[in-house]
Amino acid sequence: MGGTSRRLAIVPAVLALLLVAAACGDGGGDGGETGGAAAPFGSACSEVPADGAGSFEGMMTQPVVTAAGENPLLTSLVEDLELAGLTDTLNTAADLTVFAPTNDAFAAAGEADPEGMEMMMADPTGEFADLLSYHVVEGQLAPDELEGEHETLTGAALTVEGSGGSFTVNGSASVVCGDIHTDNATVYVIDEVLHPPA
């Protein structure tokens, strides 16, 4: 009888461990269109709301620009996409991967080259739209597909290096919160604005 009692006492503990493991693996990672993806990764993911429209779960139900507009890391990107006339293009696309610079990344880019940024902003649907389009790749890339060269919407390629939860884009921009799913895209938040090759 003693052995049976001990086995029965173990069952709730095992169930509790299984529930914890399931919760840790869920984190917005139903996978959307990618099927069974892990939770988003990266140091900046902690800045994303735990629930509501800007949360990982909330973003999964909206097209990419609309979803990004609710995310506190990406409000500058969304304002710039609207200014460049790209909102509808990206929201209605079937499958995209977006390398999305943070608000701080856009601020730093403006401080580093204020004249260049001012010139681009004078024609937001021209060169500035090309700059933003360079951050977008057709198709949804899972983390294990990221490494390598990928053609952007401008026709120019960007290069991703790394593996697991550590990636850089074009040698310097780091992915700070990756594998975020929206209704039509996979988003990798980066800490620098990318520039197309001259």
Region for 37 from its dihedrals, namely left if φ exceeds 0, alpha if ψ lies in -120 to 50, beta otherwise:
beta
Lowest mean pLDDT among 21-35, 70-84, 98-112, 150-164: 21-35
- Reading the block at residue 114, the tokens are 């204020």
- Cα(197)–Cα(134) distance, rounded to whole angstroms? 10
Domains defined along the chain, listed by start: 2-190 (2.30.180.10)
Highest mean pLDDT among 48-52, 108-112, 171-175: 171-175
- Cα(184)–Cα(32) distance, rounded to whole angstroms? 9
Q: Is the pLDDT of residue 2 over 80?
A: no
- Per-residue pLDDT of 59-106, as tens digits, reads 999 999 999 999 999 999 999 999 999 999 999 999 999 999 999 999
Q: Is the pLDDT of residue 162 over 70?
A: yes
Residues in the chain: 198
Q: Is the pLDDT of residue 37 over 90?
A: no
- Cα(176)–Cα(45) distance, rounded to whole angstroms? 7
Reference 29, options 21, 40, 18; nearest CA is 40
Buried b or exposed e, range 58-72, using 16+ CB within 10 angstroms: bbbebbbbbbbbbbe
Hey, is 33 helix, strand or coil?
coil
Q: Is the pLDDT of residue 147 over 80?
A: yes
- Reading the block at residue 126, the tokens are 């021209």
% of the chain with per-residue pLDDT over 90: 70
Residue with the larger pLDDT of the pair 28 and 51: 51
- Cα(34)–Cα(12) distance, rounded to whole angstroms? 33
Within 10 Å of residue 17's Cβ, how many Cβ atoms? 10
- Cα(70)–Cα(55) distance, rounded to whole angstroms? 8
β-sheet bridge partners, residue 149: 159
Q: What is the pLDDT of residue 4?
A: 45
Q: What is the pLDDT of residue 198?
A: 76
Q: What angle do CA 25, 28, 31 make, to 5 degrees?
A: 85
Residue 99: phi and psi, rounded to 5, are: -95, 100
Q: Is the pLDDT of residue 18 over 60?
A: no
Q: What is the pLDDT of residue 17?
A: 33
Q: Is the pLDDT of residue 13 over 80?
A: no
Q: Which regions of 1-127 does DSSP assign to beta strands (E)?
A: 96-101
